[in-house]
Amino acid sequence: MSVDLPAPQKLLARLLVLMSSPYKDEGHGIAMLNLLKTLSQSIAPSMANMWELEIPLLVKYLEVYMLCTNHLALSKGAQEHTEFTWNQKTWEDKLIQFLRNSLKKTRGSNWSLRLSKELNNQIESFDSPSLEKGFLYRALSFTLATGLEADKVEVLLLELLYKTDYSNDFDREGVILCFGLCARGQAKTVLGMLHDFEERIQESEQFWQIGAWQACMATMFQCVHFWGWKALESSTDHSDVAAPKEMTGFQMTLCSVLVRKLRQGPAPGAWGFIL
Model pLDDT for residues 80-121, shown as the tens digit of each residue: 445 457 889 999 999 999 999 999 999 888 999 999 999 999
Of 142, 149, 138, 148, the C-alpha closest to 102 is 142
Residue 85: what pLDDT? 73
Mean pLDDT value across the chain:
77
| pLDDT level of residue 216 (50, 70, 90 thresholds) | low
How far apart, in whole angstroms, are the C-alpha atoms of residue 188 and residue 114?
Answer: 21
Report how far apart, in Å, the C-alpha atoms of 232 and of each of 36, 120, 225, 275 are: 37, 27, 11, 21
Q: pTM of the entire structure?
A: 0.77
Question: What number is the average pLDDT over the span 270-274?
Answer: 35
**Phi, psi (deg, nearest 5) at residue 22:** -70, -15
**CA 210 and chain centroid, separation:** 24
CB contact at 8 A, 141 and 174:
no
Q: Which of 15-29, 133-147, 149-163, 242-256 has the lowest mean pLDDT?
A: 242-256
Q: What is the pLDDT of residues 168-202, one digit of tens each?
A: 889 988 888 888 888 888 888 888 887 787 777 77
pLDDT at residue 239, rounded to an integer: 42
Comparing CA positions, the residue from 131, 126, 141, 201 lying closest to residue 175 is 141
Cα–Cα distance, 40 to 111 (Å, whole number) = 15
Return the pLDDT at 213.
Answer: 64
Query: What is the dihedral angle through the alpha carbons of 114, 100, 8, 87, rounded to the nearest 10 degrees?
Result: -120
Which has the higher per-residue pLDDT, 241 or 129?
Answer: 129
Residue 44: strand, helix, or coil: coil
User: Taking residues 74-85, what's their average pLDDT?
Assistant: 50
Task: Identify the H or E element spanning 154.
Answer: helix 150-163
